[in-house]
Structure 1
Amino acid sequence: MFKKALLAGIVSSFSLFAAACGTGGSESSGSGGGKPETLVVVDWGGTVTDARKDTIFKPFEEEFNVKIEVESPTDYGKLKAMVEGGNVTWDVVNIDTFWGEQAGKQGLLEPIDYDVVSKEDIIPEMANEYSVGAEMYSSVIAYSTDKFSEDNHPKTWQDFWDTEKFPGARGLYNDPLETLEIALLADGVKPENLYPLDVDRAFKSLDKLKEKTEIVWWDAGAQPVELLSTGTVTVSTAWNGRITEAKKDDAPVDLHYNQATLSSESWAVPKGSKNKELAMEFIHFATSAEVQAAFSETIDYSPVNEKAIELLPAEVQERLGQSPEQAESQVIMDPKYWAENYEEVSQRLQEWHLKK
């Protein structure tokens, strides 16, 4: 997985949980009395899994008389070995959305059964052949509040590239996914014209920034907060939850959601799951509006269900960058593009780093 935002502690949302219990679709064979079935759900661990336990796993267990066994972290190599060895013990796995596109074509995942899983209110880019979005997170313009004020800070990627108006070193994620989109937006490409990415133009844009100032490349989600707080950089890309959490701890950082790129993780079912039907029921439940809203109230990931966004209080929408005005300015990444091009473009980024 590329990134995990370690975010707010878990709070209760019992009213939403109660509503969620009516949205599980048709009853599975695990409903009713008797010994509950076991569904093995694989997740990344940490606070995101803690949030799911309270908002998704426990309500699903109660509604379907199912015992959810959680394993972590997600391991693509292990999933592949299980499927190829014909000994699949996992039922549902949280994965990077673009990886799901690759894995599905390689025969590692079951096609999503949309007779069970409703995609009526799911953001279209999140309802794919082999996976359904679980949550989204934003790559934002983050800045040092010691260097810039709330009224005077970079508000676009062109501002991010403008080191005369907003001086200082820059922080960028050391991965082509999101970084190339940002470089193109900084060079004036309109969001609707991003894909397929003009890779040559993106690297020329990065060349321009490299000529102006030092670029500090980060690999882990906690690094932008540290880079900004210590003054190593004045502006950086960052995952929204890392910045909102750091702000709660009075770190001298803030963010701007304009032109943020939205990435996602998704639910998928390994090929050969022994509980495929129940796994599809779980995905249906986990992506329903009420359950998604409960999850997003406890941790700073955005829903993939558009009705869930409407259920969130205005202040939560604002914090997640999902108020109507903020959401309109964000760019949803194209997982199909990256499924086909990630390895090639990633290699090119590494070669670019070696250039003087």
Structure 2
Amino acid sequence: MKKKILCLIGIMLVLLNFSGCGSSSKNQADGDKSLVVVDWGGAYSDARNKANYQSFEKKYGVKITVVNPTDYGKLKAMVQSGNVEWDVVNVDSDFSVRGGKQGLLEKLDYNVIKKDDIDKSFVNDYGIGSDTFNVALAYNTNSFSKANHPQTWAEFWDTKKFPGDRSMWKYPLATLESALLADGVKPENLYPLDVDRAFKSLDKIKSNVKIWWATGAQPPQALASGDVTAAAAWNGRITTAKSQGSPEDVEYNESLVCGDSWVVPKGAKHKDLAMKFIAYMSTPEQQAEFSKLIDYAPTNSKALSLLSEDRKKSIGKSDSDKSKKQIVVDINWWADNYNSVDERFQKWLIN
């Protein structure tokens, strides 16, 4: 009798183990059909959803959960705690270098992701460029005309010739570059940045900066309301607002070209699917679809040929003289110097 009871217990344990394995496999399979993607929100996220996310879901039978905005503090906390809820994150391109060095990111699988046609300035072991945007001179069209508005950073700084309050990015990248350009530094001599000179230049405009913005939606709102007459702003947010009837426009001359990149947090639960997602987003077709909906440029050179001349002009990639005067931000310089410069910048803001 005792042997029969032991035998029955053994059988039950085996069945429970099989049941447990079956449940685990099912959960893993279900997990492989979902992906958490983090982006910047607002018009950016709307364009991504329409242009890319929905088509990826259909192609791979995946459900994408979108979280925004991107938050580096949350990403770091997740990785350090070992509880990573995000699979793919859209970040400032300099963070792809910094985050990789800090052990926060997975190396990208370039056997899956094709990088040959992606702008080399935005490709590294931990990130690949998703799009480029311009920190550009934006202005209220009720205050300034198309023929008479700030067309250089020196003119942006000149509040006597172009009166009114200003709005600038609460972020040192591109802000220090604009300060140096305003102070007369030639684009070809920007790097390495003369940080002391940049802060002296910022001192001259600080009292006129009414809004230091942290989200891309703020500059178009401030311009539309007339709270400021000019702003350093992401070009796509301004042109989107303009297309909706807002009294504002953007100047591409001396604009600073920055990049967004796709990264995968260290310990992401769906790393393999994340690589497929990034591969998909890096194709010329998908990058072109995104650029058709918002005025951010592709990093894949072959995507430009898929855009109309009007779209190229809208994203600042036509052959006009001013488009040639755009300045690409050196993300490697920022990756090496960001922490110390940002600490100084944040202290400068509150003093």
Say if 2:256 is the partner of 1:252: no
- Among 275, 280, 287, the alignment partner of 1:280 is 275
Deviation at 1:268, TM superposition (A): 1.0
Say if 2:124 is the partner of 1:104: no
Matched ranges for 1:67-78 at <5 A? 67-73=62-68, 74-78=70-74
Deviation at 1:256, TM superposition (A): 0.6
Matched ranges for 1:118-267 at <5 A? 118-210=114-206, 214-219=208-213, 220-267=215-262
- Among 309, 324, 329, the alignment partner of 1:333 is 329
1:346 match: secondary structure: helix
**Distance of 2:198 and 2:184 partners within structure 1:** 11
Deviation at 1:208, TM superposition (A): 3.2
Deviation at 1:89, TM superposition (A): 4.7
Partner of 2:343: 347
2:90 match: secondary structure: strand
What is the identity, as a one-letter code, of the residue corresponding to 2:319?
P
**Distance of 2:201 and 2:56 partners within structure 1:** 47
**Distance of 2:191 and 2:117 partners within structure 1:** 24
Deviation at 1:293, TM superposition (A): 0.2
**Distance of 1:301 and 1:154 partners within structure 2:** 22
**Distance of 2:33 and 2:292 partners within structure 1:** 27
**Distance of 2:219 and 2:62 partners within structure 1:** 39
Partner of 1:21: none
Shift in alpha-carbon separation, 1:82–1:200, aligned structure 2, 3 A:
closer
What TM-score do the two structures reach when normalised by structure 1? 0.80
Matched ranges for 1:42-121 at <5 A? 42-44=37-39, 45-63=41-59, 65-73=60-68, 74-121=70-117
| Pairs aligned (count) | 319
Tell me which of the two structures has the higher relative contact order, counting C-alpha pairs closer than 8 angstroms and 6 or more residues apart.
1
1:301 match: secondary structure: coil
RMSD of equivalent CA atoms: 2.5
What is the identity, as a one-letter code, of the residue corresponding to 2:238?
I
**Distance of 1:246 and 1:323 partners within structure 2:** 21
Partner of 1:301: 296
Shift in alpha-carbon separation, 1:168–1:93, aligned structure 2, 3 A:
closer
Structure with max Cα Rg = 2
Contact kept, 8 Å, 1:40 with 1:89, in 2: the verdict is no
Contact kept, 8 Å, 1:218 with 1:224, in 2: the verdict is no
Unaligned runs of 5+ in 1: 1-33
Shift in alpha-carbon separation, 1:186–1:81, aligned structure 2, 3 A:
closer
**Distance of 2:111 and 2:160 partners within structure 1:** 55
Shift in alpha-carbon separation, 1:223–1:282, aligned structure 2, 3 A:
closer
Contact kept, 8 Å, 1:43 with 1:49, in 2: the verdict is no
Deviation at 1:77, TM superposition (A): 4.1
What is the identity, as a one-letter code, of the residue corresponding to 1:96?
D
Contact kept, 8 Å, 1:39 with 1:279, in 2: the verdict is no
Cα distance per residue 1:94-124 (max 9 Å; x no partner) = 2222222222112221112223222211111
Worse-matched range after superposition: 120-129 or 40-49: 40-49
Shift in alpha-carbon separation, 1:95–1:215, aligned structure 2, 3 A:
closer
**Distance of 2:279 and 2:331 partners within structure 1:** 21
**Distance of 2:232 and 2:300 partners within structure 1:** 26
Partner of 1:13: none
Deviation at 1:86, TM superposition (A): 4.0
Partner of 1:14: none
**Distance of 1:239 and 1:162 partners within structure 2:** 21
Shift in alpha-carbon separation, 1:168–1:101, aligned structure 2, 3 A:
same
Cα distance per residue 1:129-187 (max 9 Å; x no partner) = 20111222211111222222211111111222233432333332232121111011112
Cα distance per residue 1:2-26 (max 9 Å; x no partner) = xxxxxxxxxxxxxxxxxxxxxxxxx
**Distance of 1:62 and 1:290 partners within structure 2:** 16
Contact kept, 8 Å, 1:172 with 1:215, in 2: the verdict is yes
